[in-house]
Structure 1
Amino acid sequence: MKMLLPPRFLLLAALSAAGPPTLLAQTQPSALPTAPLPAGTMPLSLHQAVSYAVQNKPSLLATRLAEETARARVGEIRSAGLPQVNIASTVSNNFKLQKSLVDFSALGGGSTVTPLTAADIAAAQAGQTVNIKPVTLPSEPVPPQAFAFGLQYAGNASASVSQLLFDGSYLIGLKAAKVYTDLARKQTQQAEIDVVEQVSKAYYSTLVARSRLALLARNVQRLDTVLYQTNQTFKAGFVEKLDVDRLRVQRNNLVVEYQKAQRLTELSVALLKFQMGLPQQQSIQLTDSLGAAVVDATALRQRLGAASFSSGGAGQDAVPTATAPTTDNAPAQNRADQQNALSGGLPPAALGALNYNNRIEFSTLETQQALAGLDLRNRQAGAYPRLVLTGAYGFSGSAKSPGDLFAFRGPNSRSSNGFPNQNWFGFGNVGLSLQVPVFDGFRRRYQVQQGRIAQQTIEKGFETLRQSIDLQDAQSRTTLVNALDVLDNQKANLDLATDVARVTRIKFNAGVGSNLEVITAETELRSAQTNYYGAIYDVLVAKVDRDKATGELYNQVKK
């Protein structure tokens, strides 16, 4: 979630009158006022802040849950190749049996009768054996009759198993599942890099704000001393009351600015806790010093191949003057100059050293390209046959009543009169199922075409991403160099303003200067301090942006 208050506002709005700061390279942690840590205060360095955020920020934890979802998805895809076993059981009440028409006349001839004559009767009475043969009468045409098959209650219990033997899409899906997991991991790493950037900038913002607030508190004390001395001089009759009133107005404004700076510092601390995922009730104590946070400007310029503020050139003693092109091809020279300006003055060998693989965006796009290739192969594999081994075994039964159905009588069961009364019968089968796609209305053809277009789109995206990385590299380098130049300039202005304010105070104390000159010098000093601390923050933020552009931000903070 983006904050509506820009960090620069949190920093610059807290500026007011402050005393002359020491050089950043010489600032020691002990130079800033430190308070004893209360119970429950959390010591916090930049490394600890980043580590805590990476482990506890809710948005990042949600991203890791998505990574866990990807792993579960891989297991789901892999499970399709394992044996599939199912057990099913049904009981039904056929309260109205379905009937079918049956042509009973097609089963054979007509009815059968046994003829008995008077001679046969007489022979039987005489004790003789009589052989009587049945006679089949000619069948008469009978229309089909409705006949119901089965009984009212029926049951079925079975177990089935199937095993996928061959499926081209499944084999490709296994490869795609591994790549999909890698993509989820890289997306998590991208989220971690964003968190590192946000926490680093918020930490620097809080560090600068607290250092400035401590400096402002010391200046309030110094101004109170000057006001007291001026008031005593007024009582002695050497200065006017107007001089005292002007200092009192300046002191009141300084106190108001200190209170504003204090509130904005608390707001910067709250922003840092938010970026870390730390509860707002937890008190923290920043342990890094501002001097350790600011990089050495000269070494940084040499690494970037940029000019220094004092000389205007790297390793040169004077600002170079423009010379006329030595070549007759002026347009080509202009293009070369533009390329040199965009590259920050780096030689071609240094430009080639930029490793795109350091950027997680490039690596993520490579993974997406691999997924697109597997997706294309999966669509092409839709033309392959699919072979499945199947098998089933179970029992089915029927009866006229529920009690009779659940009697579960097998093949050896007999009734009281000795007749078989089995009501459940077993069944089983094994088989192979082969599915061969023949024609699908060119659906697969268009799917393959879409997959190839998706691949080409990603390939075009590589060139766009390379150009974007090159632009970010040039922008971050230029922004950092400009910030360093501005920092040097503001440091020089601050030294001058500090010296002017010092001399003005000496002249005023000696009685050869006016109170108005002192107030003007103090106002200019406050402005110089505001610009100086703003330049410090700009350098720190530009350094973070530069490390992110080169893909080194996360690794540097983790060291």
Structure 2
Amino acid sequence: MMIALCLMPFLGRGQGSTSLNLQQCIDIALQNNQAINKSEASVRESQYKVKETIAIGLPQVNGQVTANNNFALRTSFITGDFLGGSDPNAPPSASPSDQITPISFGTSYDANATLSVSQLIFDGSFFVGLEAAKTYVDLAQKDLIRAEIDVVESVKKAYYLVLINKERLRLVEQNLGRLDTLLNETQLMFDEGFAEKIDVDRIRVSYNNIKSSLKSSQRMIELSQRLLSFHMGVNVNAPVVVEEHISDIAFDPSILDADLAFKSSDRVEMQLLGVQEDLAKYELKNIHVQYLPNLYAVGNMGYLTGANTIGGLTKFGTQWFGFGTIGVQLSIPIFDGLMKRQKAQQVRMRLEQLEYDQQQTAMAIDNEVFQSKANLLSAIDQLTFEKENMTLAKDVFETTRLKYQEGIGSNIELVDANNSYITAQVNYFNAYYDALLNKVNLEKSVGQLYRRGL
């Protein structure tokens, strides 16, 4: 990790180059790749969600200040017997109880300042939500691990591509040097009358083709280096120079036996489905506890005043009067039209779907492991075959070259032997790259590609 952190400033520049090995590239990618950074932010978000849920169980305190201009006071109606006498404007036959008098109460201005406090005593949804919030953290962490595995896979494959392209460039340079020597020798033989012009031209055609391949190989290295930088999450314009060679990457035969001790539950995909199942169970539990009462302790206190002028509201010492209450609030659910029951049924159907997903994913993983192992075995067999072909093609070329130099071989045979040797080399390293990719696929399928802390 310290190596990765030290190398970051160099990789962020567009100038210069840094030589890295595979592990250093992986370390830098785990620190800089945008997909991983996004998943890490999701983990932090879920942790804040837990804190938010905990805050629900803490005292809730709110303050409120209001000031009103009562430009039209509300009118109330009272009977005559309430006033203790008859209304002189009422008809003589009307009794006091029938006599209605409109009266307006209040002041032109009023204000109040209130402080309210509530404390949760019992709410089943709170405790279930607290457990579920912690499970959300687990879900985000599992998703982070999956992102890290995908990034490691991409970095490894891009790194191997750089190594293969480096080897291809080396082969092209060797072939170019070999043909250059052959072209000079044939030119001398032609000058001395021991070869024909067509022999020189035939070799020159092959020489020109190799020169064209050289430029193409150089461009492929640059492209593969940019791809590696992209997966590492660093500036793609900063040249990442790998220090290893393809021959440094050895196949570990033990990986072929990794499936014997492998269980599908070791894969992060199965673990993610397990966490989703836990969340669905918490949701079902939350629906059930909503049938229970909720109990809160509540209290509020404040001051209020009234005046016929705005300035009267500021007489805090004489015109403001206090009030306060304290108590408990019990909320009892009685009937909700069977809404909670329907919600519970939906969650049960989701749990059933998750069970099918787990079964299908387990079978898909088992098939992936089997196929990855078969592909790697086939790739290793092909690699052995191509290696033997390359050795034979090299022997044929060397023999044909000696025969040509001694004057008992033809120019056509030599060019054909060289072309066959080049083809055998290309096929060998293509097979080597396929074997490396299938090795990565098998490592991922059995859960050994990347593990946190290892």
TM exceeding 0.5: yes
How far apart are 1:182 and its partner, in Å? 0.6
Q: Does 1:389 align with 2:297?
A: yes
Greater alpha carbon shift after TM alignment, 499-508 vs 194-203: 499-508
| 1:300-319 matched pairs, under 5 angstroms | 304=256
Corresponding residue of 1:315 = none
Residue 400 of structure 1 corresponds to: 308
* SS at structure 2 position matched to 1:163: strand
Output one character per residue of 1:297-329: Cα deviation in whole Å (capped at 9) or x when no partner.
xx45xx637xxxxxxxxxxxxxxxxxxxxxxxx
Which has a greater percent of helix?
2
Q: TM-score, normalised by structure 2?
A: 0.92
Structure 1 runs of 4+ with >4 Å offset: 137-142
In 2, the alpha carbon distance for the partners of 1:177 and 1:362 equals: 20
Alpha-carbon deviations, 1:268-308, whole Å to 9, x = none? Answer: 11100001011123222212221121316xx45xx637xxx
Of 162, 173, 180, 2:118 maps to 162
Conserved? CA contact 1:109–1:139, under 8 Å: no
Task: State the Cα distance separating 1:100 from its structure 2 match.
Answer: 2.0
Q: Which runs of 5+ in 1 are unaligned?
A: 1-37, 113-136, 306-349, 411-422
- Per-residue CA deviations over 1:157-205 (Å, capped at 9, x if unaligned) read 0100000100111111111111110110010010000000000000000
Aligned residue identity for 2:394: T
Q: What SS does the aligned partner of 2:330 have?
A: strand
Q: CA deviation at 1:452?
A: 1.6
8 Å Cα contact 1:152-1:400 kept in structure 2: yes
> What's the secondary structure of 2:107's corresponding residue?
coil
CA-to-aligned-CA distance 1:91-124 (integer Å, 9 cap, x gap): 1111121212222443323489xxxxxxxxxxxx
| Residue matched to 2:320 | 424
Q: Give the paired residue count.
A: 437
The alignment status of 1:452 with 2:348, answered yes or no, reads: yes
Shift of 1:351: 6.4
Q: Does 1:366 align with 2:274?
A: yes
The answer to whether residue 378 in structure 2 is matched with residue 482 in structure 1 is: yes
Is the 2:440–2:449 Cα contact (8 Å) retained in structure 1?
Answer: yes
- Aligned equivalents of 1:187, 1:473: Cα separation in 2: 21
1:354 paired to 2:262: yes
- 1:381 offset after TM fit, Å? 0.8
Is residue 2:230 matched to residue 1:274?
yes
Offset of residue 138 of structure 1? 11
Contact persistence 1:473–1:550 (CA under 8 A): yes
Q: Please report how far the alpha carbon of residue 146 of structure 1 lies from its aligned counterpart in structure 2 after TM superposition.
A: 2.3
Corresponding position: 1:503 with 2:399: yes
Cα deviation for residue 58 of structure 1 reads 1.6
Query: What code does the residue aligned with 2:393 have?
Result: A
1:102 and 1:146 in contact (8 A); partners too: yes
TM-score in terms of structure 1 length: 0.75
Specify which of 123, 127, 141 is matched with residue 185 of structure 1. Answer: 141
Question: Tell me, what secondary structure is at the counterpart of 1:553?
Answer: coil
For 1:82-481, what aligned pairs fall within 5 Å after superposition? 82-110=58-86, 143-295=99-251, 299=253, 304=256, 353-410=261-318, 423-481=319-377
8 Å contact 2:75–2:103 — kept in the other structure?
Answer: yes
Question: Take 2:256 and 2:234, find their aligned partners in 1: how far apart are those partners?
Answer: 36
Contact 1:497–1:528, Cα closer than 8 Å, also in 2: yes
Looking at CA atoms only, which structure, 1 or 2, has the larger radius of gyration?
1
Name the structure, 1 or 2, with higher relative contact order (CA <8 Å, separation 6+). 1
Partner of 2:22 in structure 1?
46
Q: CA deviation at 1:49?
A: 0.4
The residue type paired with residue 142 of structure 2 is: K
Give 1:126's aligned residue: none
Residue 18 of structure 1: aligned partner: none
1:56 and 2:32 are equivalent in the alignment: yes
Q: Please give the secondary structure, in 2, of the residue aligned with 1:279.
A: coil
- In structure 2, C-alpha distance between the alignment counterparts of 1:531 and 1:225, rounded to whole Å: 24
Contact 1:202 1:271 in 2 (8 A): yes
Structure 2, unmatched stretches of 5+, are: 1-13
Does the 8 Å CA contact 1:176/1:371 hold for their aligned counterparts?
yes
Give the Cα–Cα distance (whole angstroms) in 1 for the partners of residues 18 and 304 of structure 2: 72
Distance 2:20 2:271 in 1: 32
CA contact (8 A) 1:294 1:539 kept: no
Question: Matched residues in 1 for 2:93 and 2:437: separation?
Answer: 111
| Per-residue deviation, residues 193-241 of structure 1 (Å, max 9, x unmatched) | 0000000000000011012212211221221111111101100000000
Give the 3-state SS of the residue equivalent to 1:255 in structure 2: helix
Distance of aligned partners of 1:541 and 1:61 in 2 relative to their CA distance in 1, 3 Å threshold: same
* Identity across matched positions, percent: 38
